[in-house]
Amino acid sequence: MGRHAKELPTEQADTCIVEFAATLRALREQAGNPTLAEMASRAGISTASLSKAAGGYEMPSWRVTEAYVESCGQDPKSWRKRWEIARRETRPREFTADESVESLNLNPEQRRRASWPRTWERWDRTGMILPSHRAETTLDLRLALQSLRTYRSFSLRQLASLMPYSHSTVAAVLSGARPVSAFFLRSYLQACGVNSYGEVLQWMDLLRTSDPSETSSAGSVLRSTLRDNGGHTTTDGWKPRLPISSQIDRLKKLSLRQRSEHLRKWLLGELETKDRNAIYRRLEKLYGINAVDLHLFEREEWSLTLDQLNKVAREAKRHGFKDIDPVVELG
């Protein structure tokens, strides 16, 4: 049994943070009140981080929250929305919009930002992450993407870690310094957990309306999305699992897992980030392999089939890299 935790703060503390900490403590109690050391061993995170998460003084990151919930034997997927709501409530007001300012004194961009909380309420209520039906310009699209990042509580670096783009590129697109492409939009949406065909369709429609030059690419992305979803929509996308490929029968001496581990170590150990991202973008364009999936593969949260492993190795060799898993068969 874990030792008795300190009382939750009652003064000079954010009520929302205290309430979230209380739910974490209740979860730990339901799990039999394991010690922090036991939880840390299961979650692979420090006892100090776990203790601080339930301390009630500051809002924990999603990574720490996820580890806390998993260490208590629960599925963190059901906690994601709860954490997002609490995280939004604890942000400084200026992070989103100052609603005390008279709307007549706001420029168009400030007025759109002021509407974000109502958009988040709609997303929470419907479970569908869709842009406003009134959105039709590049400014509308850009601000909708900014709103989605705020809704998901991602920093630019966290987003970039799930996308085949640097955080500076993501920042440039969101600020309007670079255009939004169909492939960028798809990677951005999937990094934010927007995976269903119906959701992606409406975002791509907004892109086509705001930038007709992206019509063809948007259509290609939609066909790929429909194919990835098996011809139907799905809304479960934070940690998807692929079925074991039937091609596993072709493996002889080394298992698919061993080959995956070898390729993963090679990608992370031998390639610079810019080279790896360039390969991922080409794989997405040529073969429809989602670049977000490849980044999740790096983190061991996604499985690649043998055919996909072959294509990654083949593309890397085309870029001039030789020391790749020799046992991955081409063809």
Looking at mean pLDDT, say which of 25-34, 41-50, 84-93, 244-253 comes out highest. Answer: 25-34
Lowest mean pLDDT segment, chosen from 158-162, 245-249, 262-266 = 245-249
pLDDT tens per residue across span 225-255: 777 665 444 444 433 333 333 333 444 335 5
Q: What is the pLDDT of residue 108?
A: 64
Residue 27 has pLDDT above 70, yes or no: yes
Whether 316 shows a pLDDT value over 80: the answer reads no
For the cut 50, the answer to whether the pLDDT of residue 201 exceeds it is yes
pLDDT computed for residue 329 by the predictor = 43
How far is the C-alpha of 50 from the C-alpha of 276, rounded, in Å? 33
Q: Which residues contact 48 (CB under 8 A, 6 or more apart)?
A: none
Q: Return the closest-CA partner of residue 21 out of 34, 32, 35, 5.
A: 5
pLDDT at 83 over 70: yes
Distances (CA, A) of 325 to 83, 142, 171, 251, 284: 40, 41, 35, 14, 21
> How many Å apart are CA 204 and CA 188, to the nearest integer?
12
CB 314 within 8 A of CB 248: no
Is the CB of residue 127 less than 8 Å from the CB of residue 151? no
Provide the 3-class DSSP secondary structure of residue 232. coil
How much is the pLDDT for 321? 63
pLDDT band for position 4 (50/70/90)?
low
Indicate the Cα dihedral angle 176, 178, 179, 181, nearest 10°.
-130
pLDDT the model gives residue 230: 57
Point out the least confidently predicted range of 48-57, 98-107, 156-165.
98-107
How far is it, in rounded angstroms, from Cα 83 to Cα 67? 13
Q: Domains (ranges, CATH) in the chain?
A: 15-89 (1.10.260), 101-228 (no CATH), 246-318 (no CATH)
What CA–CA distance (Å, rounded) separates 287 from 305?
13
One-letter identity of residue 313: A
Calpha distance 95→107 (Å, rounded): 17
The pLDDT-based confidence of 295 (bands split at 50, 70, 90) is confident
As to burial, measured by CB atoms within 10 angstroms (0-12 exposed, 13-18 middle, 19+ buried), residue 249 is: exposed
Please answer whether residues 162 and 151 qualify as being in contact, where contact means their C-beta atoms are separated by less than 8 angstroms: no
Instruction: Indicate whether 95 pLDDT > 70.
Output: no
In the predicted model, what is the mean pLDDT of the chain? 77
d(CA 191, CA 322): 30
Q: Which of 17-26, 63-72, 177-186 has the highest mean pLDDT?
A: 177-186
pLDDT of residue 76: 83
Q: How many residues does the chain have?
A: 331
Those residues with Cβ within 8 angstroms of residue 118's Cβ, 6 or more apart along the chain or in another chain: none
CB atoms within 10 A of CB 11: 4
pLDDT of residue 125: 78
For position 244, what pLDDT does the model report? Answer: 35
Residue 100 pLDDT exceeds 80: no
Examine the pLDDT at 327 and tell me if it is beyond 60: no
Residue 42 has pLDDT above 80, yes or no: yes
Q: Which of 131-145, 253-267, 285-299 has the lowest mean pLDDT?
A: 253-267
Q: Is the pLDDT of residue 203 over 90?
A: yes
Q: 234 or 263, which is more confident?
A: 263
What is the arithmetic mean of pLDDT over 4-26? 78
Of these ranges, 60-64, 183-187, 249-253, 292-296, the one predicted with the greatest mean pLDDT is: 183-187
